[in-house]
């Protein structure tokens, strides 16, 4: 068996694992990233699109934001379409902050390029990954690459392997508490070669359910439809998808999305999930490995980036001074932001999906809430403050 030694062993090359490797490299700390999928699969996986300002700032301040600055689409507001009445929430005016639309796969591409320039290892297509001796000061990661079993010995392991990874399940059940809610619906998402007909996102609630209009560029639209959590895609030919999207999204002012060839389709279930604490011994969980939010608040990728900022800072301090204080605070500090995002994501999801319950009282209450949220400046400010995201800390570059 081949043994390799590094300071931090990182499991998973999603946005969390790649960004951690990058921030550690900038702090002069060695890492090895291992990923069970192929590089093309990781780059092509279509997922999030909305970056909070603090995620954008983190990328720019750490030298991986130049393409994001050129190609990202800054948005000052969003629209909410309440049964045909489309109203705008001006987030920039209400909060002084904005979001940027830039595909998660573009973020991943930029981070893989930065890893390549760093010369530090990033291994794709590994298998049989397992983690060991988590409570010792030299934990190990074992895996197979090119039919050879290898072992990484390190000071810390970062579990950045997403919701279905192996790191979280390697923590003994008595040391971890799970909080979970599964929703009775999912999203059918598409990419279409159609120029966006609105410069900003449209979140829509219609009698037939939720729909979301988003984009990836001046030529590509990204759209989602509320569906069953186990919806059978074979029942959704392109014409049916467009009929449903047009019905649910068009508003009384005449706005509707442009139609074009569909290039990608997928169904995602929805859950809220938190594992506490986000640490066991020398294993630190970050991103989707520790928490999942339903996508309506656009928070998942941004939470992963906030965890990573904290973890990189805590690890750097430990290697600089031997002081474990930030490592010891890591889980509590992350969880405060995680629970704020959980509450916001649950609220956006329950407010914008159909049916909340089959009790007509709840439908009328839901409509009243949406009227309030799209008309009261105080309510709009609260939504906007959460949507654009709170600063990760007072100053990202502050240390």
What are the residues binding ligand DHB (CB under 6 A)?
A: 48-50, 201, 212, 214, 222, 295-296, 298
Q: At closest approach, how far in Å is the CB of 49 from ligand DHB?
A: 3
Residue with the CB atom nearest ligand DHB in the bound state: 49
Q: Which does 58 bind (CB under 5 to 8 A by kind): ligand FAD, ligand DHB, none?
A: none
**Radius of gyration over every alpha carbon of the chain, rounded to an integer in angstroms:** 21
Contact with ligand FAD (CB under 6 A): which of 9, 21, 49, 159? Answer: 49
Q: At closest approach, how far in Å is the CB of 288 from ligand DHB?
A: 13
Question: How far is the C-alpha of 7 from the C-alpha of 152, rounded, in Å?
Answer: 10
- Please tell me which residue in 22, 25, 295, 330 is annotated as part of the active site: 295
Footprint on residues 239-268 left by ligand FAD (CB under 6 A)? 268
Q: At closest approach, how far in Å is the CB of 206 from ligand DHB?
A: 17
Question: How far is the C-alpha of 127 from the C-alpha of 265, rounded, in Å?
Answer: 28
Diameter of the chain measured on Cα atoms: 67
Q: At closest approach, how far in Å is the CB of 268 from ligand DHB?
A: 9
Q: Which does 85 bind (CB under 5 to 8 A by kind): ligand DHB, ligand FAD, none?
A: none
Give yes or no: 299 in active site.
Answer: yes
Q: Which does 294 bind (CB under 5 to 8 A by kind): ligand DHB, ligand FAD, none?
A: none
Contact with ligand FAD (CB under 6 A): which of 20, 112, 166, 262? Answer: 166
Give yes or no: 85 in active site.
Answer: no
What are the strands of the beta sheet with 2-5, ordered from one edge?
A: 2-5, 148-153, 140-145, 127-132
Contact with ligand FAD (CB under 6 A): which of 250, 302, 312, 331? Answer: 302
Question: How far is the C-alpha of 21 from the C-alpha of 19, rounded, in Å?
Answer: 5
Footprint on residues 80-119 left by ligand FAD (CB under 6 A)? 104
Q: Which two tokens stand for residue 227?
A: 């569906």
> Between vectors from CA 277 to CA 274 and to CA 280, what angle results, nearest 5°?
125
- Please tell me which residue in 291, 299, 330, 353 is annotated as part of the active site: 299
| Complex with ligand FAD: residue 164 or 174, whichever CB lies closer | 164
Q: Which does 13 bind (CB under 5 to 8 A by kind): ligand FAD, ligand DHB, none?
A: ligand FAD
Give yes or no: 295 in active site.
Answer: yes
Q: Which does 256 bind (CB under 5 to 8 A by kind): ligand FAD, ligand DHB, none?
A: none
Q: At closest approach, how far in Å is the CB of 299 from ligand FAD?
A: 5
- Please tell me which residue in 79, 224, 318, 387 is annotated as part of the active site: 387
Q: At closest approach, how far in Å is the CB of 295 from ligand DHB?
A: 3
Question: How far is the C-alpha of 289 from the C-alpha of 253, rounded, in Å?
Answer: 43
Decide: is 65 part of the binding site for ligand FAD (CB under 6 A). no
Q: Rule CB under 6 A: which residues touch ligand FAD?
A: 11-17, 34-37, 42, 47-50, 104, 129, 160-162, 165-166, 189, 268, 287-288, 295, 298-302, 304
Catalytic positions are: 75, 203, 295, 299, 387
């Amino acid at each position: 068996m081949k043994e390799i030694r590094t300071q931090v062993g990182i499991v998973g090359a999603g946005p969390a694992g790649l960004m951690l490797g990058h921030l550690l490299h900038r702090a002069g700390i060695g890492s090895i990233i291992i990923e069970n999928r192929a590089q093309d699969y990781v780059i092509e996986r279509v997922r999030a699109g909305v970056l909070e300002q603090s995620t954008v700032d983190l990328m720019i301040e750490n030298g991986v934001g130049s393409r994001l600055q050129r190609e990202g689409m800054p948005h000052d507001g969003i629209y909410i379409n309440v049964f045909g009445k489309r109203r705008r929430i001006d987030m920039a005016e209400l909060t002084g902050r904005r979001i940027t639309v830039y595909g998660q796969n573009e973020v991943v591409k930029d981070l893989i390029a930065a890893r390549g320039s760093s010369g530090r290892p990033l291994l794709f297509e590994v298998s049989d990954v397992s983690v060991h001796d988590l409570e010792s000061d030299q934990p190990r990661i074992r895996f197979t690459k090119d039919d050879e079993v290898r072992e990484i010995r390190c000071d810390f392991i970062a579990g950045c392997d997403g919701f279905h990874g192996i790191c979280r399940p390697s923590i003994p059940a008595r040391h971890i508490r799970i909080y979970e809610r599964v929703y009775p619906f999912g999203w059918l998402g598409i990419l279409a070669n159609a120029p966006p007909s609105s410069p900003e996102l449209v979140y829509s609630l219609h009698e037939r359910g939720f729909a979301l209009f988003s984009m990836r560029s001046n030529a590509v639209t990204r759209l989602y439809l509320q569906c069953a959590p186990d919806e059978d895609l074979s029942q959704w030919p392109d014409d049916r998808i467009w009929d449903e999207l047009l019905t649910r999204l068009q508003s009384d002012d005449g706005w509707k999305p442009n139609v074009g060839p569909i290039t990608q389709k997928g169904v995602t279930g929805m859950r809220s999930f938190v594992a506490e604490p986000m640490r066991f011994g020398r294993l630190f969980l970050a991103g989707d490995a520790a928490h999942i939010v339903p996508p309506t608040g656009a928070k998942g990728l941004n939470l992963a980036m906030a965890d990573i900022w904290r973890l990189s800072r805590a690890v750097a301090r430990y290697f600089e001074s031997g002081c474990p204080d930030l490592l010891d605070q890591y889980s509590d500090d992350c969880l405060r932001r995680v629970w704020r995002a959980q509450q916001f994501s649950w609220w956006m999801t329950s407010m914008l999906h159909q049916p909340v319950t089959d009790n007509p009282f709840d439908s009328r209450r839901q409509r009243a809430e949406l009227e309030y949220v799209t008309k009261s400046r105080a309510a709009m400010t609260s939504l906007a403050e959460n949507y654009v995201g709170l600063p990760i800390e007072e100053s990202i570059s502050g240390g």
